[in-house]
Amino acid sequence: MKEVETIGADLGGTKLAVGVMNAGAETTWKDEVPSRGYSQEEVIDLLVREVERARDARPAVAAVGLGIPARIDFESGHAIDTVNLDFEEFPVKDLIEEKTGLPAFVDNDGNLAMMAEALYGAAKGARNALMLTLGTGIGGGVWINGEIFRGTTGAGAELGHVVVEIDGPPCQGNCPGRGCVEVFASGTGIGRMGQEAAMAVPNSALGKVAATGTAITAREVNDAAMAGDAAAIGVVERVGHYLGTALVSLSNIFEPEVIVLGGGAMALGELILEPTRREIASHALKPMDQTPVVAAQLGPSAGMIGAASLARAGIEGGL
């Protein structure tokens, strides 16, 4: 690859991470700002400001890659729809190129995290891999024969909306489904189940936190589980069950060499990995029942690294 630098922007439901990366996957500049509650226009303004800050710091940047938690028409770079942000039929690529003058390339944030882990992280060297990112929602990506699978238009691989309980709770955001794995294993779902556990076991660590008037979020569940609280560990076991159930189906369909799990919930480490692996070992077909499930290696930088990699591939004709 040419020795060029590109900007990668990873837009989440609560924050925007932006970085500049060289061809060796070294980050030469980075920043992170809040994004929660922004309208479409405000998000574009925020993206443009951060791209300009990156260009001020590294004037030779050649392009910008954008990872957005939305279903993307990959050819046009338009956001079709999203579950957790106010993006619908929105020409993201056109607006960024118009306002910055830089070539822009747009993809789903889960796809880009998968790309980063396949190129530089936990799935490096794999020809076929899956990734789920456990954040505000659940994103994901599929790596097939060394490329990202995007479906017919680019909207494919919404892995967080695999149904794991047919009559389960309504999914969050604007998803019309019920019982999606996102309901149970996202940060939002973990917080909801943690609140239920706190009410059911008031003398638990979670119950005592709830008694102070503090809302139970995934962070409180993580902290209590890591400290050994039985109620919180029970929540994590339940999360692992649902997550593993989704991965049984995905393993049977794709037969990946490795499944990578990323996002904030992975602070739980083996507490969540072990029950997830147990479901696959017990219920997937052979040889998929032996599929390794590992933690992501690039942490919260994966989406930004993937976005910068997309931009570099775009300007070099590698898309």
The tens digit of pLDDT for each residue in 257-267 reads 999 999 988 98
To the nearest whole percent, how much of the chain has pLDDT over 90?
A: 77
Q: Per-residue pLDDT averaged across 251-274, rounded? A: 95
Q: How far apart are CA 86 and CA 123, in angstroms?
A: 32
Mean pLDDT of the chain: 92
- Output DSSP code: residue 289: G
Q: What's the confidence (pLDDT) of residue 126? A: 97
Domains belonging to the chain, first-starting first, are 6-114+300-315 (3.30.420.40), 125-296 (3.30.420.40)
Query: What does the pLDDT read at residue 300?
Result: 86
Residues 6+ apart with CB under 8 A from 124: 117, 118
pLDDT tops 50 at residue 50: yes
pLDDT reported for residue 149 = 96
Is residue 168 classed as helix, strand or coil in its secondary structure? coil
The first and second tokens of residue 207, run together, are: 């119950």
pLDDT given at position 172: 87
> Is there a cis peptide before residue 287, judged by omega within 30 degrees of 0?
yes
DSSP 8-state class, residue 169:
P
pLDDT beyond 90 at 297: yes
Which pLDDT does position 84 carry in this prediction?
58
Q: What is the pLDDT of residue 1?
A: 44
d(CA 27, CA 5): 9
87 pLDDT higher than 80: no
- pLDDT exceeds cutoff 60 at 117: yes
Percent of residues, the chain, with pLDDT higher than 70: 97
Over residues 190-211, mean pLDDT = 96
Rounded to whole angstroms, how far apart are CA atoms 106 and 115?
13
Question: What's the token pair of residue 264?
Answer: 């904030």
